[in-house]
Amino acid sequence: MTDSTPTTRSQQKSIDIAALAEDPYDVYAQFREAGPIHRITGTDGLPAWLVTGYDDVREALADPRLSLDKHNATPGGYRGMALPPALDANLLNMDPPDHTRIRRLVTRAFTSRRIEQLREPIQRTADQLLDRIAADEHADLIDSYAAPLPITVICDLLGVAPADRLDFRSWTDALVAPDPTRPALAKEAIGNTLSFLTHLIAGKRTAPADDLLSAMVAVRDEEDRLNEDELMSLAFLILVAGYENTVHLIGNAILTLLRHPDQLAVLRADPSRLSSVVGELARYDGPVPLAIRRFPTQDISIGGVTVPAGDTVLLSLAAAHRDPRRFTDPDRFDINRDATGHLALGHGIHHCLGAPLARMETEIALSALLGRFPDLALDVSPGELQWRPSMRSRGLLTLPVRTGTTKGAAADR
């Protein structure tokens, strides 16, 4: 399908969002087997280049000629969500030197010590959530576990009061997976989020605490190395990314283990292996099928195809993770696999800043869940599960399970 000559508009292939939700790996495999890069029509109706081979995707993730700055897009060639500058001036829309400056400042506040301090609260929160789940024989592990755990963790990190957390969760859901039939919801969520963060930052200025947002405010006010839009946008990015991606990393991991009982049995027999298995879980069915869009700052060659400056480039992590040239028998989940080199948390200068926290949360979440419920099982057939309809987010809407407990047994605990 693809050779050294760019495909014409008539050759563009459309992405079927329903097929992606059902089985993205089969869809992307067909593209990957036909060639390393393809001209497609995205779900927004606009043309883009889809890159599918592991080597090309990994190289492109670190290529400085592929910009994240939307100002480098061809006029009219990109249509993203319209965010106000106070939410849009974040690391996902920046290149060096601004990206380097801001990431360095955030890294100074987002220390390994601060992350490690969260280990005990994460464990405590997981145990509390599981106590509630154990009171019934049935549960939805997205609503009752995979979602509330990360929102609690990221809000604890930033210093968001418990009373404000449920509202923020609903706003994030409306922004990340907007309902095309109800566009007003996303617009309302943007306004609510902006107002919420404005008041939150004002509160940290008045009464700073030992949290990440207070540290970021100090960098802004005392060192004057962030402007107000950058500060607000960073808080927005950390809240959204720290919540959304981790929800689906945990949810997809639970489903993967439940669908592979032989592998789960081995893991139950030796829980110490869990930390190394998280990488394979992220490779096998990660939360981000596509990396954030990029725009070449000059004509470049990807997979033997010339991609013009300003065109939208989509890097398929889902396709790369199932590339047999990089991973042997890639469609098989294998807890013995060395998944080193997976790209689920990025690569290069845009590697996920919160990767250590996401891995720690997932490991604790799985360890606590599997330890509490030895007879945990899916409560529906895999074909009945509903996935979020999105090219850029791979996550379940619900995860119905049988806990293996009874109300009486839970009460006696």
Q: Parallel, antiparallel, or unpaired: how do β-strands 47-51 and 400-402 relate? A: unpaired
Per-residue pLDDT tens for 178-197? Answer: 666 677 787 888 888 888 89
Instruction: Give me 330's structure tokens.
Output: 């890639």
338 belongs to a structural domain: yes
Asked if pLDDT for residue 327 goes beyond 80, the answer is: yes
User: How many structural domains compose the chain?
Assistant: 1
Helix (H, G, I), strand (E, B) or coil at 353: coil
- Residue 168: per-residue pLDDT: 74
- Residue 190: per-residue pLDDT: 86
3 belongs to a structural domain: no
310: alpha, beta or left? (left if phi > 0; alpha if psi -120 to 50): left
4 belongs to a structural domain: no
Among the ranges given (91-100, 132-141, 215-224, 272-281), the one the predictor scored with the smallest mean pLDDT: 215-224
What average pLDDT does range 108-119 have in this prediction?
A: 80
15 belongs to a structural domain: yes
The confidence band for 413, taking pLDDT boundaries of 50, 70 and 90, is: very low
Instruction: Give me 99's structure tokens.
Output: 């990206």
164 belongs to a structural domain: yes
151 belongs to a structural domain: yes
Measure the CA–CA gap between 336 and 338, rounded to whole angstroms: 7
405: alpha, beta or left? (left if phi > 0; alpha if psi -120 to 50): beta
Asked if pLDDT for residue 411 goes beyond 70, the answer is: no
We report the CATH number of the domain holding residue 241 as: 1.10.630.10
The DSSP-derived string for 180-208 is TT-HHHHHHHHHHHHHHHHHHHHHHHHS-
Helix (H, G, I), strand (E, B) or coil at 113: helix
Asked if pLDDT for residue 227 goes beyond 90, the answer is: no
2 belongs to a structural domain: no
Per-residue pLDDT tens for 278-298? Answer: 999 999 999 999 999 999 999
CB neighbourhood size of 178 (10 A)? 16
The confidence band for 106, taking pLDDT boundaries of 50, 70 and 90, is: confident
Between residues 189 and 396, the one the model is more confident about: 396
Full residue range of the structural domain in which residue 51 is found: 9-412
